[in-house]
Structure 1
Amino acid sequence: MPKRKCSFTDELQKKFPTYRPGRDKWEAECTVCKAGTYVSVSNKGAGDLKAHMDTEKHKKAVRGESSSAKLTEFFVRSGKTEDAVNTAEGAMAFHTVKHHNSYRSMNCTSTLLKKAFPDSDIAKKFSSARTKTEAIVNGAIAPQSVEVTHEALKEIQYCGVSTDGSNHGAVKIFPVIIQYFDWKKGGVQTKLIEVKDTPNETAETIAKYLTETLAKNNLSEKCIVFTGDNCNTNFGGIRRDEAGKNVFANLKSLLQNKTLIGAGTIEIDIENIIFKIYQYFHIYTVRTESLKEYCDFVEIDYRRMLSHSKTRWLSLFPSIERMLQMFPALKAYFLSQQKPPIALKRFFENDFAEIYLWHMHTLMSMFHTHIQEMEQENMSIMEVKKILNNIHTILLQRKSNNYMSLKVKGLLAQKRKDGLDKGCDQFCADVHGMYSACLEYLEKWMTPMEEFSTFMWMDLSEPPNWNDVEACIKHLGEKGVSVDDVKCFDQVTNLRKFTETCNHDEEFSGLQYNFKDMSCKDFHAYLLSNRKLLGKISSTAKYGWANKEDEEEKQDEEEKQDEEDN
């Protein structure tokens, strides 16, 4: 068998402190010689490092530096200085992630700190560029974040779990979020416990993934709520008669697809049109360039077409808006083609296509705003119910007035002048039918949520009224939850006084993910107080190749032990 290559380990770095990790695990960088002096340790390990120190080049570098500084300056001194350097590198890694900076930017930052603070010993020894910063994040800070969360989850009694897919090309990423109440920490807490890619996004795969994740974190018996997108994969539609074919659990999901139900009552499939137009252009440069020429012809600015996913409701509104911006050019383009897609040809030949788009734009603007509110991380069931009530009120008013925007009315008036009264009447009927369908679908989803009406006072948008609280206590009593109403009355009295002055404080109900509540300055202080985490930052174990090597060495030891046993 070929001889196993040696690697630069923590033990070697301690023994030879003038070296630090090189470009890969089989080499070290000499901090005494000129920057970029790498020494391979793959052959003899410590022997290679000694051999380099005996070279004339290394000795000359030592003599040159000794005239202006002590030799000890080449060593990372243990104690406070080493901790300060590790802390700085850890804090900068945290800062990079928190502010969504590129790891590549640390190549510049690492050098800039030395130039900007030439008198700082910490800046001189700061050596966390792109590779090391990424290793600190993945190998030290991220595991610490998960460890802290695991410790917190040991003390909770109940929790809720939620997930949602995010597609990156062919890779499907699913984060798992846990939400629970911790009065010691200030109320509802939201934590990320897992991020994993799955082979597909079927209900069976998602359910298995969540089950395994909950079991791994000892939360199987504590989880009482599941939340997610209001798509059939998660909840199986309104009828709930597709047992085993969805990731349905106890809490009804946020209502997010009512617009599409209403849109299904009109004669134009707008979702399908948006998808087909996007597919027609997005990878065809020749078609795109031709469309740009039509944009110049009709004197509008070219804008890239947007895609829409049937399970990503917030993508529909911007897609419709972009299509309206490009409508004159798109219409001219497709009607001039010899063999355009049939569905697109029929759409742009329809005299009322643009009017339908404008009405959907008006309707979706309302839904888009409310869905964004509901998707905030600090939403409670009471706040969601209040938002749904607002949507219901708006839809009722729009239906009673058969509301259409002034833009739509102006276009309809022009169509009537053109003698298209029959089409205008059909459009008005479609608008009324759309509002009816939206209301019907919304009401079916709101009915099960009436059970939570007794808790509406808890959103504290107004000072609590004792009658509402008393009704809540009775409701809980019927569910087997006993509440001392005498003590509760005194507490509600104090709460009422408090909310009268503090109910407009934006920080009153703030939530954070894992380390999200820490500023970069706070995280720096956190690092100084956590020797274990500083050890991870300074150790080569944070690099992915180090873990792989440990596994290989363990496997070699096991194989060797098996040979001896045999």
Structure 2
Amino acid sequence: MQDLYSGKCFLTLKLLKKYGCARTKTSAIIDNLSRDKIETIVETLQKTFFACATDGSNDVNTQLYPIVVRYYNKEIDQIMTALLSMPSCNESCTGENIFNLLNREFVKYNIPWGNCVSFGCDNASVMTGKHKGVDKFVADQNENIYISGCPCHLVHIAAQKTAQKIPIKFEDLLVDIYYYLDKSYKRNLELKNGQLMCEIKTHKILKHVSTRWLSLGKCLERLLEQWDALKMFFEQEYEIEKKKKGKTKIS
């Protein structure tokens, strides 16, 4: 049985090596497959409830507004998330113009706003404004629709404002600690002894690079993990420096 399976795999690979598909053919295949997929999604949205979300791109030349939908697929008994379309806004991106963009897609596919039970977006005034935001025009189409601003966006803004009140800059602290320990066997050995005393894993202090902003979270996690050992280490360093200065004044 295994030999038969291996033989089939060999023949399949042999056929695939002879298969040629350049840009034109590949584009045509993707286009036809995507049309079939869109037709299936649209048929479902016309008959069932769904949630819709969009957010504008930051491209200077054109503003894209991908329309993402989330719905229940009865056939496979799963919640599905799909990209319905990605229209571009060639006018000024006001709340009304963005809504008209979305509405044109709904009309084109004959999708009723009444089936849309939730609309998700970021918390910019152009999206959530009470009088001229996209949310207002969406609510005019379906008064029972649930408008959901992005909670991650709100948490980020809150964290950003809070961080501004902290008297130290974490980026500078991480860089200073790393380079203070870097290439010093004696300091790293003393820190390791502190880690063992505090029963902390003997992990190295990570290097934060400002151009790689994703490293900030990992570096902060490592700093907090090693906080007790670092605190003990720098307290000892402070006492040593204090004694040195005292001896210098006496002499």
Task: State whether structure 2 residue 107 is matched by structure 1 residue 215.
Answer: yes
Matched, 1:245 2:133: yes
Give the Å deviation of 1:268: 5.4
Partner of 1:534: none
Q: Could you say which residue in structure 2 is the equivalent of 1:136?
A: 29
Question: How much does 1:133 deviate?
Answer: 1.1
| Whole-Å separation in 2 of the counterparts to 1:410 and 1:246 | 52
Whether the aligned pair in 2 keeps the contact of 1:173 and 1:196 (CA below 8 Å) is: yes
Matches within 5 A, 1:284-303: none
User: What is the one-letter code of the residue matched to 2:146?
Assistant: N
The yes-or-no answer on 1:149 pairing with 2:41 is yes
2:81 aligned residue: 190
How far apart are the structure 2 equivalents of 1:201 and 1:187? Answer: 35
Deviation at 1:214, TM superposition (A): 1.8
Counterpart residue identity of residue 224, structure 2: S
The 1-side partners of 2:74 and 2:165 are apart by: 51
- Output the CA distance in 2 between the equivalents of 1:152 and 1:141: 17
CA pair 208-134 structure 1, distance change in 2 beyond 3 A: same
Measured in 2, the distance between the counterparts of 1:174 and 1:189 equals 20
* 8 Å contact from structure 1 (residues 177, 192) kept in 2: yes
Residue 115 of structure 2 aligns with an amino acid whose one-letter code is K
Shift of 1:226: 0.3
Give, in angstroms, the shift of residue 205 of structure 1: 4.2
Partner of 1:103: none
Structure 2 partner of 1:466: none
The structure with the greater share of residues assigned to helix is 1
Q: Report if the CA contact (8 A) 1:206-1:247 is conserved.
A: no
Q: Secondary structure at the match of 1:224?
A: strand
Which among 311, 316, 320 is matched to residue 216 of structure 2?
Answer: 320
CA shift for structure 1 position 261: 0.9
- Cα offset for 1:116? 3.3
The structure-2 alpha-carbon separation of the partners of 1:267 and 1:159, relative to structure 1 and needing over 3 Å to count, comes to closer
Cα shift readout 1:160-198 (whole Å, capped 9, x = no counterpart): 211234446755433212223343442534332212333
- Greater strand share, structure number: 2
C-alpha distance after superposition, 1:68-117 (max 9, x if no partner)? xxxxxxxxxxxxxxxxxxxxxxxxxxxxxxxxxxxxxxxxxxxxx9x934
Question: Secondary structure at the residue paired with 2:146?
Answer: coil
Q: How does 1:493-512 map to 2 (within 5 A)?
A: none
- Alignment CA distance shift 1:302-1:188 (3 Å): closer
Aligned partner of 1:265 among 162, 165, 169: 162
Q: Distance in 1 between matches of 2:23 and 2:34?
A: 16
The 1:132–1:223 alpha-carbon spacing in structure 2 relative to 1, beyond 3 Å, is same
SS in 2 for 1:179: strand
Q: Which residue of 1 aligns with 2:120?
A: 227
C-alpha displacement of 1:128:
2.8
**Distance (Å, rounded) in 2 between the aligned partners of 1:172 and 1:415:** 54
Map Cα deviations across residues 251-305 of structure 1 (whole Å, 9 max, x no partner).
43452132431441344589x998xxxxxxxxxxxxxxxxxxxx9xx66989671
The 8 Å contact of residues 50 and 116 in structure 2, kept in 1 or not, is answered as: yes
* Aligned residue in 1 for 2:212: 306
Match in the other structure for 2:195 = none
Contact 2:52 2:69 (8 Å CA) reproduced: yes
Seen in structure 2, the aligned counterparts of structure 1 residues 268 and 223 have a Cα distance that, compared at 3 Å, is same
Give the direction of change, closer, same or farther, for the CA distance of 1:261–1:188 in structure 2 (3 Å limit). same
TM-score by length of 1: 0.27
- For residues 157 and 236 of structure 2, the distance between their equivalents in structure 1, rounded to whole angstroms, comes to 28
Higher relative contact order (CA 8 A, sep 6+): 1
**Can you list the C-alpha shifts for 1:201-249, whole angstroms capped at 9, x where unaligned?**
654443332222222222223223102345555435xxxxx43235366
CA distance in 2, matches of 1:269, 1:245: 34
Structure index of larger Rg: 1
Tell me what 2:50 maps to: 159
CA distance in 1, matches of 2:128, 2:166: 24
Match of 1:181 in 2: 72
State the Cα RMSD in Å.
4.6
- Aligned-pair identity in percent equals 19
Asked if the contact 2:68–2:84 (Cα under 8 Å) also holds between the matched residues in 1, the reply is: yes
SS at match of 1:218: coil
**TM-score normalised by L of structure 2:** 0.53
- The one-letter amino acid of 2:148's match is K
Contact persistence 1:305–1:319 (CA under 8 A): no
Compared with structure 1, are the counterparts of its residues 129 and 304 closer, same or farther at alpha carbon in structure 2 (3 Å cutoff)?
farther
Structure 2 CA distance for aligned equivalents of residues 243 and 408 of structure 1: 49
Helix, strand or coil at the partner of 1:221: helix
Cα pair 2:208 2:216 within 8 Å, conserved = no
